[in-house]
Structure 1
Amino acid sequence: MNAYERRLLRASRKLDDTQRDQLLTFSEFLLSRKKEAAAGASAPLLEPLQIPAREEETVVGAIKRLRESYHMLDAKIMLNDTASVMSKHAVGGLPVDAAIVELESLFLRHYERYRDDS
């Protein structure tokens, strides 16, 4: 507990029950205003970068390019889907071109979800 919290606690202990309830109600009111202000001031919508595919691009190269293009997306959230396409390619024999098309579609779907949520 820091000095401010100790000071606030000491002051609240000197209040009667009604005043403590008012203090808590006012604190919650201030917190709700802060949340409303943060929701109203949402970050601007980021657009993907248009990075062209490299000649004879590999699946790993495509993933790197798409992560750079769609820099606003959380790679951790997409990890399972991206790994699934990579597995289809490496283990299942999905051709490079088909895997890259699937990855591009995957990133676009995630971007559309990001855009709709913003």
Structure 2
Amino acid sequence: MSKLENQLLDYFYQLSAEGRQGLLDYARFLAQQYPAAPATVNEPLELPRPENETVIAAIKRLSRTYPMLNKDKLLHETAGLVTDHMMHGRDAVEVIDELEMIFERHYQSLRKEE
């Protein structure tokens, strides 16, 4: 979640039930007044894979490579691989290879939706 989203949630949780409903109503109003531009799927950026890359650095690189992907949808799969690597000693190169396949699969799925 982005910093902005976290701030919004913090404010939301500070409100009473009536305040939360008001915030939701206002958000609905704003969404109607300022609709987001339709998302288009761009081509991934070509960021080379560095030698001796860490798993965390790979996730950051892949996030920059595929900025059009919803990172929340990738969280479960990537977190599982990070856990396998850090807690169970799974090889970093193997995990990074799998991360690249996951990001590419999500990208192809997004392209099909469009």
1:107 aligns with 2:103: yes
1:64 aligns with 2:60: yes
Q: Which has the higher contact order (CA 8 A, sep 6+)?
A: 2
TM-score for the superposition, normalised by structure 2: 0.64
Match of 1:87 in 2: 83
The Cα shift of 1:42 comes to: 5.0
How far, CA to CA, are the matches of 1:96 and 1:52 in structure 2?
17
Three-state SS of the structure 1 residue aligned to 2:75 is helix
Alignment deviations for residues 9-34 of structure 1 (CA, whole Å, 9 cap, x no partner): xxxxxxxxxxxxxxxxxxxxxxxxxx
Three-state SS of the structure 1 residue aligned to 2:88 is coil
Letter in 2 for 1:108: E
Residue pairs, 1:1-118, within 5 angstroms: 42-118=38-114
The Cα shift of 1:43 comes to: 3.9
RMSD: 1.7
Letter in 2 for 1:116: K
How far, CA to CA, are the matches of 1:61 and 1:96 in structure 2?
11
The Cα shift of 1:54 comes to: 1.6
The Cα shift of 1:64 comes to: 0.3
TM-score for the superposition, normalised by structure 1: 0.62
Letter in 1 for 2:96: I
How far, CA to CA, are the matches of 2:112 and 2:48 in structure 1?
25
Which 5+ residue runs of structure 1 have no aligned equivalent? 1-40
Following superposition, which runs of at least 4 residues in structure 1 exceed 3 angstroms of deviation?
41-44
The Cα shift of 1:55 comes to: 2.2
Which 5+ residue runs of structure 2 have no aligned equivalent? 1-36
